[in-house]
Structure 1
Amino acid sequence: MAGQPDNVACQVPQAEIPGAKRLQRGAEMNRALIGLFSLLCLFPGLAVAAPQVSVRTALLNGDKALVGGTVTLQIDVLVDTWFTSPPQLPKLSLNGAVVTPPSGEALHLTEKAAGTTLFGLRFNYQITPLEAQVYDIPALSIRVNPGQSQQPVTVSTSAQHFSAAQPAGATAGQASLIARQVELSQTLVKSHDPLRVGDTVTRQIQTRATGAQTMLIPAPPFAEVQGLTRYVQPPSVHPLDDGRGGVIGGAREDAVVYKVSEEGRFRLPAVDMKWWGAADGQAQTASVPEVVFEAKGTAGYQAPFSMAEDLRALRHNAQVNIARHWLVIVAVLIIGAGLVYFGRTWSRTFWNRWQQRREQRRHAWLNSSEYAWQLTRQQLAAQPLRLDGLYLWVRRSSGRVDLQSFLGSRERPLLKRLQQCLQNQYGNARPDAVEAPAALLDDLQTVHRQHAPRSLPQYALKPLNPTSTHEVFDENARHATVE
C-alpha cells in the first residue's frame, strides 16, 4: 500500500463511506424547509386561513305582536376561532316603539356546521310597539374582531318586518299590559292595633309581570274613603332577572297611607288589573280582595321612653348649684359690658354733638343784645363806672354807634341826664351832687323794652337790614376785657 498513489482513497465509492446516506437526506430536508419558508414569506395568506364570521337573525313573537307587548330581535354572531373583543352593535330606534338595547351579558353559543365548530354570542333587542302599525327593522352592521384576523370584520343582518295589532278590548291610545303571567298581592300594615283616630294604615300592592316591560306596568287604583285621608307614596320598580343576567319581566310596588280621621268601620275596595296574554292575546284580570278594618277611640301620643328619666340620669353625676344672686350679678355684668362695648361709638358721638351745640348756644348768647344789656346793668351799678357795655347794647339792639342817634328827640331828657351823669362822673362836680348811674336804669329799662327783639309770626319775613354794618367789628376782645 505504501507504493500506491495518493488518490486511491478518493476513488472509494460514497456508498461504502459510513453515514453518507444520512448526510444526503439531511441536506435534502434542509433544502425543502428553506423553499417552504421562502414560499410562506412570499404568500403570507397561505400560512393561516382567514377566520369564518357569520351572523344569524331571528324575530321572536313578530307574527303575533300586540301593542304594549314585547318583540325580540335575536342576533347570533358566530366565528370559528374566538373573539378578541366584544362585537360592536349599532343603536336601533323605531318610530312608535320603545327599543331596549342588549344588556352587557350575552349568551354564549357552541355549534357545529359542516364539520366546523363555531363559537358565538347571542344578543337580544327588546322592542315594545306603542302603536298599531307596521314596523320595518333595517339591516344592522356589526363589527367583529375574530381571532387570527389582522383587521376587524363587518357583517350585516337581514332586514326584518312585523306588524303590531291592538289587543282585543283595549282602549286605543292607552298603554296595555301584555305579559305571559301577572301576579298581584297586597300587604296591610297598621301603625297600631287596634286602630284609633289619628293612626295610619298602609296598603302595599306588589305586581309581578313575567314577559312585560317594567315601565309599562300600570299603577293600581287607590280609592278615596270617607273618614280616611289618603297619601299615595312614590312607586318602586325593578326588572325581574333569570339569575344569569337576563331580564324576564318587571316588578312594581305601590303603597298608599290612609290616616284615620274619625271613628267607624272602613272598607278599602278590591283592586283589579286587566292584562292580555302574550301568547294568545286573551284578556285576563289579576285582582286582590277588599280590606275591612275598624277604628275606635283617640290615639294619644306616648313617647317610647321617659325623657324625664333620661334627663335625670344625665345630670345625676354632674349637678351644679349656683346661688340666684350670683346669677343676677353675672347677668348685670354681662349686660353692662355689652352696653359699654357697643355704646362707645354712640356715646362719643352724642357727647361731641352736645359739646358743639353748647358752644353754639354760648357763642350766640355772647353775641346777643340781651347779653349786652346785662353787661350794661352790671357796669352802671359798679364802681368805677364803665360805659362800654352801654354802647355795645346800643349797637346790638339798634345798630347805632352813639347815644344821640339811638335816643333821638323822643328821649331827649334821658339823653341830657346821661350827658350830665358822664360830666359829673368824669368832671370836677361835687360828690353829693352827682346822680347815681343806677338811677338811670329804670329809664333805660323802658328803652330796653322798646328795643327788645320781638318774635316774628311763623310765616313772616325777616327784616332786610336788621342791624347796621357796624356790627362787623370784632367784639370778642371787648368781651374779654369786660370779663
Structure 2
Amino acid sequence: MRAMLILLLLAVLPARAAMDITRELEVPEHVVPGQPVRIAITFWTDSWFNPPPEWPDFKIENGSLMSTPLPNQLLSRQKNGISWSGIRLEKQVTAWDQGVLLLPAVEITLTSPNQPPVTVQLPELKKEVVWPKGVEQPDRFLPASNLTLSQKITQYHARKDTTLHAGDVVERIVTVKANGIVATQIPQLLYAIPGTETQRLTPINTMLKSGRGEIEGAQREETLRYLPSQAGTITLPPIKLRWWDTANQQWQIAQLPGSTMPVAQARAAGSESALRGTTSQNKWQTVLVISAIAILLLLIWFTRRLLKRCLKYLHHAWRRFWNPVQLPELTPTKRGER
C-alpha cells in the first residue's frame, strides 16, 4: 500500500525539464567589413518549450544585427544518454569597419512555467575583420560571393517611328544581383549626362531566395530616364562595378556596355503629348483585337439562322408575357333573382 502511494505521489509531482542554450558564430576564414556572418542561438530541452524561445539580448561590439529574416531550424541531439530537442535561431551580424567583431561572455537565464530558472554561461566569441588590399573607396566597398549586372535600354517616342528626337525619352534600367549582401550595400550606378535632363525613379530592392525560401542575397533595380533637350547625340556611358569576391578572396569587375544614339530636331508643337515605346507590344495588342473581332463576326455569320429563330422565340415570349388574360367573373350576376 505504501509503495502504491509513493508511485501515485511521483506521478502527480511536476516533472523537471532540463534546459540549455548554446551560441555559435558562423564565419569563414577571412571576413571583411560589410560581409554578413551568422550568429546561431540554439535552445535545448528534454521536454517541450513553454513558452517558445525568443532571441536573447546580448551585447555586440564592432558590429550590428541585421533585420534580414532567417528561418528557424529544429534539431536533436544525444547527451549523457538523454534525447534533447532544440530550436535554432539565426541572425546576421555585420562589422562595418576593420577591427574585432566581439560577442562578450554573457549569462542567460532560462525560465519555464512550474520550473526553476536555469542560468547558462555563454563564452566569448570573436572574429577579426580586415580590409582587403587595394580598397580605394571604403564607402563604395561591395563584398559578395557572387554578382551579376544586366541592363535594359528603351526609347519612348512621341510618334510611331524609330527616330529619337529632342523631347523623347531614353530609359535605362540597371539590375544588380548579388549573394551574401543586403540591397542597401549596392552603390548608385546611374548618373546624369551632359545635354539631357534626367528623371530618377525610386530604386526597387528585393531579396533573393533559394528554393527552400532561404535568403541568399539581394537585387537592386535602378532606373534613370534621360530627356534629350537638343539635337545631336547622347552617349550613355559604360558601367563598371568593382566588387570583392568573398568566395575567391579577390577583386572582380562587372561591366555593362554604353550606347550612343543620334538625336534629331524636336518635333512640331503638340507632338510630344504622348510618348510611345519602340517595343512591338502595341502591335501585337492591335493584331489580337482585330483577330478577336474577325472571329466574332464569323461566328455570327455561321449561326445567323439559329440566332434568327432565337430572336423570334424571344419576341413571341415577350408578347405573350405582356398580353392581358381575361379572368372569369368573380361576382355573381344573378344575386337578386330568387
TM-score for both structures, normalised by structure 1: 0.50
Match of 2:40 in 1: 74
Say whether the 8 Å CA contact 2:146–2:179 is kept in structure 1. Answer: yes
**Which amino acid in 2 is paired with 1:121?**
I
- Paired residue secondary structure (1:66): coil
* Mapped partners of 1:104, 1:143: distance in 2: 24
Partner of residue 65, structure 2: 99
Say which SS state the counterpart of residue 7 (structure 2) adopts: helix
The one-letter amino acid paired with 1:249 is G
Contact 2:71 2:90 in 1 (8 A): no
The match for 1:61 is: 27
Q: Retained in 2: the 8 A contact 1:273–1:285?
A: yes
Q: Which residue of 2 aligns with 1:163?
A: 128
Distance in 1, Cα, partners of 2:116 & 2:212: 32
In the alignment, is residue 181 of structure 1 matched against residue 146 of structure 2? Answer: yes
- Is the radius of gyration larger for structure 1 or structure 2? 1
Deviations 1:360-416 (A, max 9, x none): xxxxxxxxxxxxxxxxxxxxxxxxxxxxxxxxxxxxxxxxxxxxxxxxxxxxxxxxx
Q: Which AA in structure 2 matches 1:201?
A: V
Runs of 5+ in structure 2 lacking a partner? 275-338
The total of aligned residue pairs comes to 268
The separation in 2 between residues aligned to 1:271 and 1:277, in whole angstroms, is 18
SS in 2 for 1:197: coil
Q: Which amino acid aligns with 2:128?
A: S
Q: Give the secondary structure class of the aligned counterpart of 2:47.
A: coil
Q: 2:223 aligns with which of 240, 255, 264?
A: 255
- Structure 1 residues 223 and 283, CA gap change in structure 2 (3 angstroms): farther
How far apart in 1 are the matches of 2:122 and 2:49? 18
Compute the displacement of 1:173 (Å): 4.3
What secondary structure sits across from 2:123 in the alignment?
A: coil
* Structure 2 SS opposite 1:69: coil
**Letter of the 1:292 counterpart:** T
The alpha carbon displacement at 1:243 in A equals 5.3
Shift of 1:114: 5.0
What's the counterpart of residue 3 of structure 2?
32
Cα pair distance change 1:117/1:160, threshold 3 Å: same
Residue 202 (structure 2) pairs with residue 234 (structure 1): yes
Q: Is the 8 A contact 1:168 1:282 kept in 2?
A: no
User: Which SS does the other structure have where 2:50 is aligned?
Assistant: strand
Q: How does 1:86-125 map to 2 (within 5 A)?
A: 86-92=52-58, 94-100=60-66, 103=69, 105-125=71-91
Deviation at 1:216, TM superposition (A): 1.3
Aligned equivalent of 1:199: 168
Q: Give the Å deviation of 1:88.
A: 2.7
Map 1:384-403 → 2, pairs under 5 A: none
Q: Given residue 261 of structure 2, which amino acid in structure 1 is its aligned partner?
A: F
1:217 to 178, 182, 186: 186
Where does residue 334 of structure 2 map in the other structure? none
| DSSP-derived class of the 1:83 partner | coil
Preserved contact between residue 213 and residue 250 of structure 1 (Cα < 8 Å): yes
For residue 102 of structure 1, report the CA deviation from its aligned partner. Answer: 7.0
Give, as a single letter, the amino acid of the residue that structure 1 aligns with 2:155. Answer: K
Q: Distance in 2 between matches of 1:102 and 1:160?
A: 21
- Of the structure 1 ranges 98-107 and 83-92, higher mean CA displacement relative to structure 2 is found in 98-107
How far residue 191 of structure 1 moved from its aligned partner, in angstroms, is: 1.3
CA distance in 1, matches of 2:232, 2:68: 54
Shift of residue 160, structure 1, vs aligned partner? 0.4
Gaps spanning 5+ residues in structure 1: where?
1-29, 305-483
Structure-2 residue corresponding to 1:131: 97
Report the Cα offset of residue 215 of structure 1. 1.8
- Any idea what the Cα deviations from partners look like across 1:54-85, whole Å, max 9, x if unmatched? 22322222541111212222222222222222
Which secondary structure does the structure 2 equivalent of 1:37 belong to? helix
Runs of 4+ residues deviating >6 angstroms: none
> 2:225 and 2:45 mapped to 1: Cα distance?
57
Q: CA deviation at 1:244?
A: 4.8
Q: Relative to 1, partners in 2 of residues 1:203 and 1:40: Cα closer, same or farther, differing over 3 Å?
A: closer
Counterpart of 1:215 in 2: which secondary structure? helix
1:9-50 deviations in Å (ceiling 9; x for gaps): xxxxxxxxxxxxxxxxxxxxx553134335667xx4xx63x3
Which residue number corresponds to residue 287 of structure 2? none
Say which of 265, 276, 280 aligns to 2:244.
276
Paired with 1:284 and 1:94, the residues of 2 have a C-alpha distance of 31
> How far off is 1:266 after superposition?
2.5
Deviation at 1:92, TM superposition (A): 4.8
Q: Which amino acid counterpart does residue 179 of structure 1 have in structure 2? A: A
For 1:262 and 1:222, how far apart are their aligned partners in 2? 19
Question: How far 1:221 moved relative to its partner?
Answer: 4.0
Structure 1 residues 278 and 93, CA gap change in structure 2 (3 angstroms): farther
Identity %: 25
In the superposition, relative to structure 1, how do residues 171 and 143 fare at CA in structure 2: closer, same or farther (>3 Å)?
farther
Which is helix-richer, 1 or 2? 1
Normalized per residue, which structure has more strand? 2
CA deviations on 1:230-285 (whole Å, 9 max, x unpaired) are 33333222332335554321221111111011223322111111111123321101
Q: Cα deviation per residue 1:160-207 (whole Å; 9 max; x = unaligned)?
A: 011110122113643411111011111112212432110011111111
